[in-house]
Amino acid sequence: MPEPLLELMTLTELERRLGRERILKVVAAQMANGRELSRRLGALEIAPDPVLIKALAHQLAGSSGSIGLLRLSDQAVALELAVADAGPGTLAPLVRDLRDCLDASLAVLNAQYPEIVDF
C-alpha cells in the first residue's frame, strides 16, 4: 500500500509549534511554488533536460518533505537519483509521474486548507 499523499501529523505538529496563520503562509507558498514546478515539469516532459530535472526534483524533495508531503518527497528523490542512469526515452514518463504526484499532493493540501483560495 503506498504511503498517503499527506502525513497530517507533520502539519499538525507544525501548527502546534508555529500557529495556524504561519502554516497557512507556508502552505500557500508551497502551493504557489508547486504550481510553478508543475508547469516547468510539464515542459520537461516534452523536452527532457536531465540537469534541470535533477535540480527541480531536488528542490521538490526538500520542500515537500518538510510539510508532510512524504510520497511526493520520496518520488522526487527517486527521480533525482534515477536521472543519471535514465536513457533519453525514460525520463519523460518519470517526469510525468512526478508531476501527477505533485498535482495530486497540491489538491490534498488545498482540501486540507480550503481558506487558501487562490489555488
pLDDT at 88 over 80: no
Please check whether residue 69 lies inside any domain of the structure.
yes
Average pLDDT over residues 36-46: 95
Residue corresponding to grid cell 499532493: 105
Average pLDDT over residues 28-52: 95
Please check whether residue 29 lies inside any domain of the structure.
yes
> pLDDT tens digits, residue range 42-64?
999 999 999 999 999 999 999 99
Least confident of 29-43, 62-76, 77-91: 77-91
How many domains does the chain fold into?
1
Domain extent at residue 53: 8-111
Please check whether residue 116 lies inside any domain of the structure.
no
Average pLDDT over residues 95-112: 96
Average pLDDT score over the chain: 92
How many angstroms separate the CA atoms of 4 and 96, rounded?
19
The pTM score is 0.91
Which amino acid is located at 12 in the chain?
T
Please check whether residue 28 lies inside any domain of the structure.
yes
